[in-house]
Amino acid sequence: MSDKKGRVFLRGITSETYGLKEFRRNQLDAPRVRDDSVVVDDAKVGHSGDSEQSRTWWRVGPGDEPFLTQSLQVHFVELPPHSSNHGHGHQNEAAFYILDGAGYEIHDDQRYDWAKDDLVLVHTDSVHRHFNPYDETARCLIFKAKSEWMYLGLIQQGRSGPVENEDRFGPREDWSRVWTPDVDKLRKVVKSAVTPWELTPLGRVRTLSAPGDDVRTFSVDAFVLDIPAGSRSGRRWHMADEILYVRSGHGYSLHWEVEAEIAEKYYARIAKEPTRHEIKPGDTLYVPHNTIAQHFSADGEPLVLISGQNRLFKQLGYDNVAYLENAPEYDEAHAAPAARS
């Protein structure tokens, strides 16, 4: 737990030189696997959602030391049986993956029910509250690109209450008049039963949110990756950094650093040897920006990973993924019939 007096919502970059190699090196040198022993923020400062029963704690955020990223933040919410949190509002979105239990949300006075392995979206400018009316504890994994909103000055957030100096302002107006048209028709709960598994170069994937779909998020892309016991994922290279939560299984992840050679144009120089990162259930694994990664499942049971990425990278011109090696199951399924006979 940091000894900072306040919560860090947005982190700056300061350097005495134009090149930022030392800043990147410090990020690359930080441990990339964090488990339940790591609580970088216990929500006691600068957070308004918790009730006396609910619990919120952070795993990755912009105030961390050592610092990994603020492209995507990760925290958890736990609701004991027959409880709720206070609820609050913020301009940033949030994506909740339901790890255990069931419950419902109230978003802008509308109810949305959820259950284990669903993805729930808190939309921009939403007043939201989480409820667990059942006998089992509910736990949620949250991905959000909050610092993106903070950088853009979208910082109007807090608990419900009267407007300060109310006499200075006129009557209520509909806030949604400045939203993208028909955005309220997009899905708020992505049910696990209606998101099919697909065999991709990365492996067996269940996509939860992606550009062009009908899910109400503009900031977080999420999917579930299921790697059979003793197998491996595809080896892929993309510019966005990524956080993966280990849902079940054991294994390790290999990461190849990509260095920029700035000559007459940018060239990528890929490290000859990767770094290795052991992972177990409940861990979060960080894959840095501009890194090649491949995940390996130990023998015994499949390795199931929940991935989150900040979609902004795709809007900045980094919309492609390069596969240096496909998952073996994908190559087997696409092999010529004669090769399989």
Containing structural domain, residue 138: 30-159+176-340
d(CA 309, CA 69): 11
CA-to-CA separations, 229 to 250, 296, 303, 327, in angstroms, rounded:
9, 9, 7, 13
Angle, alpha carbons 322-323-329 (nearest 5°): 150
Q: Are 73 and 147 in contact (CB under 8 A)?
A: yes
Taken in order 141, 147, 10, 259, is the CA torsion positive or negative?
A: positive
Does a structural domain hold residue 336? yes
Does a structural domain hold residue 6? no
Pick the closest to residue 108 from 81, 88, 83, 78 (CA basis). Answer: 88
At residue 2 the predicted structure's pLDDT band, cuts being 50, 70 and 90, is very low
Mean pLDDT of 119-144: 96
Residues 242-289 pLDDT 10s: 999 999 999 999 999 999 999 999 999 999 999 999 999 999 999 999
Does a structural domain hold residue 95? yes
Residues 195-252 pLDDT 10s: 999 999 999 999 999 999 999 999 999 999 999 999 999 999 999 999 999 999 999 9
Residue 246 host element (H or E): strand 242-248
**For position 42, what pLDDT does the model report?**
82
**Total number of domains in the chain:** 1
**For position 58, what pLDDT does the model report?**
93
Q: Is the pLDDT of residue 329 over 60?
A: yes
Taken in order 63, 65, 69, 73, is the CA torsion positive or negative?
A: negative
Q: In sequence order, which residues have a C-beta less than 8 Å from that of residue 185 and are 6 or more positions away?
A: none
d(CA 129, CA 217): 18
Mean pLDDT of 313-334: 96
Q: Is the pLDDT of residue 53 over 80?
A: no
Q: Are 78 and 100 in contact (CB under 8 A)?
A: no
Q: Are 327 and 203 in contact (CB under 8 A)?
A: yes
**Phi then psi dihedrals of residue 166, to 5 deg:** -60, -30
**For position 43, what pLDDT does the model report?**
74
Residue 22 host element (H or E): helix 21-29
Residues 139-177 pLDDT 10s: 999 999 999 999 999 999 988 778 888 899 999 999 999
> Which of residues 140 and 340 earns the better pLDDT score?
140
At residue 125 the predicted structure's pLDDT band, cuts being 50, 70 and 90, is very high
d(CA 255, CA 28): 10
At residue 327 the predicted structure's pLDDT band, cuts being 50, 70 and 90, is very high
**For position 47, what pLDDT does the model report?**
66
Residues 286-310 pLDDT 10s: 999 999 999 999 999 999 999 999 9
Q: Is the pLDDT of residue 4 over 90?
A: no
Pick the closest to residue 108 from 222, 218, 216, 221 (CA basis). Answer: 216
DSSP state of 158: B
Does a structural domain hold residue 233? yes
**For position 106, what pLDDT does the model report?**
95
**For position 41, what pLDDT does the model report?**
83
d(CA 45, CA 27): 25
Mean pLDDT of 8-22: 91
Beta bridge partners, 225, equal 205, 305
Does a structural domain hold residue 122? yes
Does a structural domain hold residue 321? yes
Supply the CATH number for residue 206's domain: 2.60.120.10
